[in-house]
Amino acid sequence: MDTRLTASSLDRVARELWEHGKWDEAIASWRRAVAADPNAVEALANLAWALAQVRCTGEALNLAARAAALAPDKEYVRHTLGEVYYRAGYLEEALAQYQAAVKLRPHEPGLYCDLADVLYSLERYTEAAEHYRLALRLGGEEPYARLWLGWSRMQLGDLDGAERDFSLALEQRPGWPYALHALGKIRAAKQQFESARDLLMLAVEEYPDAEEVERAAAFCELGNVHQALGDLERAADSYRAALRLDPTHEDASFNLGLVYEDMGDLESALSAFNVLVELSPEDVDAQVERATALASLGRPQEALEGYQAAITLDPGRADAVLGAGRAYYSLGIYEQAVSHCRRAVELVPEDPWAWYGLAVSLTAVSDHDEARECMKRAMEVGIEDAHLCIHVARWHIWQRSDAESAVRAASTACLAERDNPYAYDALASALYYAGRFHDAVAPAQHAVELAPDIPDHWFGLGMILEALEERGEALNAYLRAVELAPGFEEAQEAVRRLRDVV
């Protein structure tokens, strides 16, 4: 029998085996076909394609190149070589081969889809969208081309167009997890979080168990939606589910750390950021968040090392520079704190916390005049930030320098956040420091009404009432502080003092 017929029959057997999922046997049959006839172009191309599917891209490239050298004008050979290049990560080479294949067979919709895939991977989204539309006009696989046309439009900022394409893909293929996932993502981008949540929950149920990477991505997106809806527990559950499926999913690790921070679980946040730094040590965001968690846990030396690692990666990273300044301050190395906070101000002069950090650091080195100017600038830049205004007010009280500035800063905080108990406590403290005891009573009482379980606020109320010589009510306030915090020594001393006179 002619060896070419033998190669042809082996190629045919291999195709049938592949269609039945018997991949190893199919590849073995194609190898026999090529051995029977080393110039059997179709068998060479098919073996190259199959090897690319199972990630043997090096051998696949050699075989596809041989096929192309033997038959440079065969569309399927160019197509196969493009596929192998694409799977090997050689995108420009893949693009050239797909373009050559399209010239040889200009009415094949699948070619336009593959060409569009490469263009999308090259971030040439406008061209990708044009080729997905061409594939659709030529009768290509409607749901796939429609789905990726939607992704291209999303990358181009056309959220409405992307939503229409994702919806059409889902209509054409109901229950398709890729379309459910995409539509959920676009609804989240449009802040339609309840709809996004429902779609993404369906997506994670519909993805086959074997598609772990895709399910992990959907779980991560679902976590983002739960976080946006304020459901931190479910957000954490979703991120953990993503990481069980794909332990290397960096976004899930990062966002899980942020959720733990929001939940006040700093140790768990640190663990999540530690994992991320191990996975991607050059991720500046991960380094900064890890250092911030360490700082919040009262570990300034380790925090400083983390911030320095981030600065090494990106010297212009302002939050890392400012974090390093704060860490130096916590370590009592005040000159370095001033230097880093000053650099942070240079990098982001619109950041009020940089000005605040510089003011506090300058205070530590006794440069009080510049410190006051920096604190003034912090208030000017951050007048709508209630948290900052509270800190500014307390700094003025701590410095015993400008009672009215303290009152103004605390009043601004109360106006910015009318239900913030710390703002009203700061206002009460500022008024007390200014000697306006009667005016201080109302904000102090409002602070304990808003947050009745904070002992410091009861103690502040007691001080104000005691200054007004309302000793019975003051004693009750001090007793409440001691009840909430039995180890509160100042409150215990105040109780002893007033019990002797009441």
pLDDT score recorded for residue 2: 45
- Residues of 153-188 as b/e, b for ≥16 C-beta within 10 angstroms? bbeeebeebbbbbbbbbbeebeebbbbbbbbbbbbb
Read off the pLDDT of residues 361-397 as tens digits, 9 standing for 90 and up.
Answer: 999 999 999 999 999 999 999 999 999 999 999 999 9
Q: Which domain holds residue 478?
A: 452-502
Q: Give dist(CA 58, CA 29) in Å, integer.
A: 19
The answer to whether the beta carbons of residues 82 and 111 sit under 8 Å apart is: no
Mean pLDDT of 265-279: 94
Mean pLDDT of 396-423: 92
Is the confidence at residue 282, as pLDDT, over 60?
Answer: yes
The H-or-E segment that residue 260 falls in is helix 250-262
Is the confidence at residue 3, as pLDDT, over 50?
Answer: no
Has residue 419 been placed in a domain? Answer: no
The answer to whether the beta carbons of residues 253 and 276 sit under 8 Å apart is: yes
Environment class of residue 406 by beta-carbon count within 10 Å: exposed (0-12), middle (13-18) or buried (19+)?
A: buried
Has residue 299 been placed in a domain? Answer: no
Q: Give dist(CA 359, CA 361) in Å, integer.
A: 5
Has residue 497 been placed in a domain? Answer: yes
| Nearest by Cα to 281 from 253, 309, 252, 302 | 309
The answer to whether the beta carbons of residues 47 and 36 sit under 8 Å apart is: no
Is the confidence at residue 6, as pLDDT, over 90?
Answer: no
Number of structural domains the chain divides into = 1
Read off the pLDDT of residues 215-225 as tens digits, 9 standing for 90 and up.
Answer: 999 999 999 99
- What letter represents residue 317's amino acid? R
What are 101's two structure tokens? 């294949």
Mean pLDDT of 4-10: 76
| Nearest by Cα to 454 from 476, 483, 412, 427 | 483
Mean pLDDT of 327-331: 97
Q: Give dist(CA 164, CA 143) in Å, integer.
A: 12
Has residue 460 been placed in a domain? Answer: yes
Least confident of 1-10, 121-130, 252-261: 1-10
Has residue 374 been placed in a domain? Answer: no
Is the confidence at residue 501, as pLDDT, over 90?
Answer: no
- Per-residue CA distances from 394 to 102, 226, 317, 397, 429 (Å): 70, 36, 28, 5, 8
Read off the pLDDT of residues 425-480 as tens digits, 9 standing for 90 and up.
Answer: 999 999 999 999 999 999 999 999 999 999 999 999 999 999 999 999 999 999 99
Has residue 502 been placed in a domain? Answer: yes
pLDDT score recorded for residue 32: 92
Has residue 184 been placed in a domain? Answer: no
Has residue 431 been placed in a domain? Answer: no
Mean pLDDT of 328-340: 97
- What letter represents residue 142's amino acid? E
What are 155's two structure tokens? 């990358």
pLDDT score recorded for residue 399: 87
When pLDDT is cut at 50, 70 and 90, the band that residue 5 belongs to is: low
pLDDT score recorded for residue 4: 47
pLDDT score recorded for residue 502: 62
Q: Give dist(CA 382, CA 489) in Å, integer.
A: 35
Q: Give dist(CA 94, CA 83) in Å, integer.
A: 7
Across the chain, mean pLDDT equals 94
Read off the pLDDT of residues 205-215 as tens digits, 9 standing for 90 and up.
Answer: 999 988 999 99
**Which residue matches tokens 């010297």?**
315
User: What secondary structure, in 3-state letters, does 371-396 show?
Assistant: HHHHHHHHHHHCCCCHHHHHHHHHHH
Which residues does 499 contact at the CB level (< 8 Å), separation at least 6?
475
Mean pLDDT of 195-214: 95
Is the confidence at residue 251, as pLDDT, over 60?
Answer: yes
User: What secondary structure, in 3-state letters, does 63-96 show?
Assistant: HHHHHHHHCCCCHHHHHHHHHHHHHHCCHHHHHH
**439 phi, psi to nearest 5 deg:** -65, -25
Mean pLDDT of 38-42: 91
